Structure 1
Amino acid sequence: MEYRRGRYSWLLRPFLIVFDLLVINIFALYSLNFNEEDIYFFSNDFFNDKHTLYIIYSATVWFFSSFLLKFYKVYRYTSLFKIASLLFKQFFVYGMAVYAFIGFFRSVNLGAFDVLKYLLFVFAAIGAVKILSYLILKTIRAYLKGNLRNVVIIGSGSGIAELKNIFNRQRELGYNIKASFSDSYDNDTTGNINDSFNFLKNDNSIDELYCAIDELSEKQINEYVKYANLNHCNIKFVPNTSKLFTKRLHTDYYNYLPVLSIKEGSLSNDINKFLKRTFDILFSLFVIIFVLSWFSIILFILLKMESKGPLFYRHKRNGINYKEFYCYKYRSLTVTKETKGTYVKQDDHRVTKIGRFLRRTSIDELPQFINVLKGEMSVVGPRPHMLSYTDDYSKKIDKYSFIFRHHVKPGITGLAQIKGYRGEVESDKDIINRIKYDNFYIENWSLLLDINIIIQTILNVVKGDEKAY
């Protein structure tokens, strides 16, 4: 069970629900000018009033759609991008319902533009208040030290270290680490795991417990669960980040034998495939026509002045379902033959002067929009590896995790790249995190997520990326 504590923040959700219902109905009263003829649907004259019927209908639709879409499920760790996504989804569903209402009742004579204007006003008001309340709470937590959650962290490992880093760095989340216990005796720990039980007995102000599930015994976990239930606080378990815990594995039981299969991700849905492919075609056509058409001519002349070789460099990569294809790039090296272990390193002598600029700005990747148009790649997706690296990495990564990323088309950019995991792989940690972000993207794909990644990629190009060499 999820327990919630706090003085007044719990009132925010009911307030927002009431506010939203008032907005959609008050705006309807002044924006939607139904024709004067009554809507005869019920025998009772009260319900035949056009505005009364719409209020009942709109409130019902709003409650139903917001429940299904989890429109009000916004937490302190929810991102602004997630809130924007919820607003767009709710706007789309509620908008379709409003148009359905007008289409169903023939006596309602309203123009499509008038309805669209009403919907835009409604969601501008609702969106502004929703985002403003979200930002105000973040400000209160970061600067006024209010609306804080007292947390105790149990255990160690990469997952716990990352969690502590998030809590300490992102003050606007409002997590106050009261104590940290671990048998590894780090500098920032309060004591060992046995000490934590005495600490918890004497402190009932704890809101959440975070436990490193890989480090604790079953008996210890049961003790923490018992404490959480008795003291009405939340308990959460943190895996080691080197282990890729995801929702993609589905378990079937053949009698008592568990058999794992790979779940279909968001991009297995035919509608999502169509949306993503349509976006890829339109975006790649725009880049090819308005950028590649003239830029390639200028670059060809500059490259020829510096070194011999073709304008484009093509190299074999693994695509969807491990299918091999030739991936295009602008040539940035003095050599064009691909051999095992030839990832470009920092200050690599093979990189030309123009090539260094191309790689620093990631402009060398632009010809891959040709691959996108051909259907071999997508604008956004997991980056395709060299064939030799695919073989090497698959031996170091959990097989299900590695196979899963090859169930979609590779991308020119991706979530792993904007998070800093691109280019040369210096350690196993680099490839583990790359696969982790790739699989998260596949499981949680949306068109808005693609747009967000593209925008972040452009910003990284402008700012410069230290791993782009």
Structure 2
Amino acid sequence: MQRIRYSRYLKSIILLLDLLVIAFVFIFFFLSRNLDLIHDREIWYENSFPLLLLISFWILLSGRTKIYNIRRNLTYIIFVERIVTHFLLFVIGLLLIRKVSNNKFFSSELSWLSLYLFSFIFITKSFIYFAIKYLRSLGINNRNVMFLSENSSTKILKNILKERKDYGYKIFDYHTEKIQQNELQFFWKDNGIHTLFLPLENSFDLKTEDEIFRLAEANKVHISLIPNISQTDLFSYDLAYIETQPVLNQIKYPLDYYSNYLVKRLFDIIFSLLIIVCICSWLFPIIAIFIKLSSKGPVFFIQKRYGFHEEVFSCLKFRTMLVNDESTTKTTSKNDSRITKIGKFLRKTSLDEMPQFINVLRGEMSVVGPRPHMLAVDNYYKPKIGRYSLRSMVNPGITGLAQVNGLRGDSGDVKVEMKKRVLADAFYVRNWSFALDLIIILKTILLVLGGDKNAK
């Protein structure tokens, strides 16, 4: 089976479509305000160069913003963020080109022109994004992949690829204990394998592993290495070059940059103040009355938890359980007898977390971040799951990426579920953006209104 690579053709078509949209918007905007010049060839010749300059700038800028580097697992959040960043830089370039060109094509009503252009580009690219996702979910434009050797990390990845059909991966199973060169090559060719997923910790000896790499290179099969969840070294350094010499530099996470931290902190303060003044000021007394009526004990439940750089802080919550001696050592379970009736409602709607906005104002937490666990839970899993400590590189949050994706509660295989949470938290720390925070907050609001089935 011959592999047909559509990606380059697809990118070229999408780029051409964007350029046509840009040219159409500019020409339409110009003609709508200068109908009498529609037959004036001199005007068209005069403005052809600025338009070509603008199109060239768009193409060059795309290399930096990566708006045409659309990976199969690219999220819509990051996709929109790239479009907005690209467009803002493009408008800056538009201002400069207008200044140097000084002609009628670049109208003085630049704000309206920019709005029209952004609207058309955004709608066009969003339509293409979801159309491609839909076609892939139907089995069109699949990428054929296979796994060699399996461990806990490969099982998690395989489940993700099976569940997310919109990623467009088709998995071919290859079951054999001993790798035979000819058999493996025939399997690749017969099934049109594009990518081979290989765990770093596998059952092959060095000679066999080298042979697999050599065969893959000869057969144009891409190899993606899957690190074990317990390994942390690979995620602590990034490959860089000093001239031609490769070096490994310790990575800086997005929130290590002060500008990003400042944006997040200012948002936390403003958002928390709005919630406390507009909602908590009247909601807290109502919840407090119901808690007091339901059982004896304090309104608030205060528990020590790890925060930024594993500094211990007092996390505030509404009390949802009967007062008991296991609250700091035993996690909740399904139909936990300790949970009160009002407590069950508060947990289901996540309203028990509302007092944590006070923690946010105090700088101990953030609105969005990895959820803080009990000290006993952190101490138990930290030596067992790699990258667990990465969660403490940012402030813990009232809500987080893991929670809005259903990774909460103690159901199923607890250790596997915890690994998934750690993976989600590690992704958040390494890929933080303001747009990502906004999307997580929006998803949280929808979960609160609809009730989270994973909340206990």
- Taking structure 1 as the reference length, what is the TM-score of the superposition? 0.82
Q: Kindly provide the amino acid, as one letter, of the partner of residue 440 in structure 1.
A: F
| 1:357, distance to aligned residue in structure 2 (A) | 0.6
Name 2:85's counterpart in structure 1.
89
Using a 3 Å threshold, how does the CA distance of structure 1 residues 251 and 129 change in structure 2: closer, same or farther? Answer: closer
Coordinate RMSD, CA, aligned: 3.4
Q: 72, 75, 90: which one pairs with 1:76? A: 72
Distance in structure 2 (CA, Å) of the matches to 1:406 and 1:412: 14
Local SS of the residue matching 2:314: strand
Q: Is the 8 A contact 1:47 1:53 kept in 2?
A: no
Name 2:37's counterpart in structure 1.
none
Name 2:56's counterpart in structure 1.
60
| 1:33, distance to aligned residue in structure 2 (A) | 8.5
Confirm or deny that 1:154 pairs with 2:148. yes
| 1:195, distance to aligned residue in structure 2 (A) | 5.1
| 1:397, distance to aligned residue in structure 2 (A) | 3.2
Name 2:447's counterpart in structure 1.
460
Using a 3 Å threshold, how does the CA distance of structure 1 residues 433 and 54 change in structure 2: closer, same or farther? Answer: same
For residues 348-427 of structure 1, the aligned pairs below 5 Å read 348-398=336-386, 401-424=387-410, 427=414
Name 1:432's counterpart in structure 2.
419
Distance in structure 2 (CA, Å) of the matches to 1:67 and 1:397: 37
| 1:156, distance to aligned residue in structure 2 (A) | 1.6
Confirm or deny that 1:168 pairs with 2:155. no
Local SS of the residue matching 1:225: helix
| 1:134, distance to aligned residue in structure 2 (A) | 3.0
Q: Kindly provide the amino acid, as one letter, of the partner of residue 386 in structure 1.
A: M
Name 1:23's counterpart in structure 2.
21
Using a 3 Å threshold, how does the CA distance of structure 1 residues 349 and 150 change in structure 2: closer, same or farther? Answer: closer
Q: Deviations over 1:426-462 (max 9, x none)?
A: 7433333322221211110001111122222233334
Local SS of the residue matching 2:313: strand
Name 2:127's counterpart in structure 1.
132
For residues 150-229 of structure 1, the aligned pairs below 5 Å read 150-181=144-175, 191-194=176-179, 197-201=182-186, 204=189, 205-215=192-202, 216-229=204-217
Name 2:428's counterpart in structure 1.
441
Local SS of the residue matching 2:235: coil
Distance in structure 1 (CA, Å) of the matches to 2:233 and 2:136: 30
| 1:269, distance to aligned residue in structure 2 (A) | 0.8
| 1:415, distance to aligned residue in structure 2 (A) | 1.5
Distance in structure 2 (CA, Å) of the matches to 1:415 and 1:372: 17
Q: Is the 8 A contact 2:145 2:193 kept in 1?
A: yes
Distance in structure 2 (CA, Å) of the matches to 1:325 and 1:467: 26
| 1:336, distance to aligned residue in structure 2 (A) | 7.4
Using a 3 Å threshold, how does the CA distance of structure 1 residues 88 and 356 change in structure 2: closer, same or farther? Answer: same
* Aligned residue-pair number: 440
Distance in structure 2 (CA, Å) of the matches to 1:169 and 1:80: 17
Using a 3 Å threshold, how does the CA distance of structure 1 residues 286 and 54 change in structure 2: closer, same or farther? Answer: farther
Local SS of the residue matching 2:345: helix
Using a 3 Å threshold, how does the CA distance of structure 1 residues 453 and 376 change in structure 2: closer, same or farther? Answer: same
| 1:337, distance to aligned residue in structure 2 (A) | 6.9
Name 1:188's counterpart in structure 2.
none
Name 2:289's counterpart in structure 1.
301
Distance in structure 2 (CA, Å) of the matches to 1:251 and 1:59: 33
Local SS of the residue matching 2:174: strand
| 1:332, distance to aligned residue in structure 2 (A) | 1.4
Distance in structure 1 (CA, Å) of the matches to 2:103 and 2:120: 29
Using a 3 Å threshold, how does the CA distance of structure 1 residues 139 and 278 change in structure 2: closer, same or farther? Answer: same
Q: Is the 8 A contact 2:47 2:103 kept in 1?
A: no
Q: Is the 8 A contact 1:206 1:233 kept in 2?
A: yes
Local SS of the residue matching 2:179: helix
Name 2:335's counterpart in structure 1.
347
Local SS of the residue matching 2:144: strand
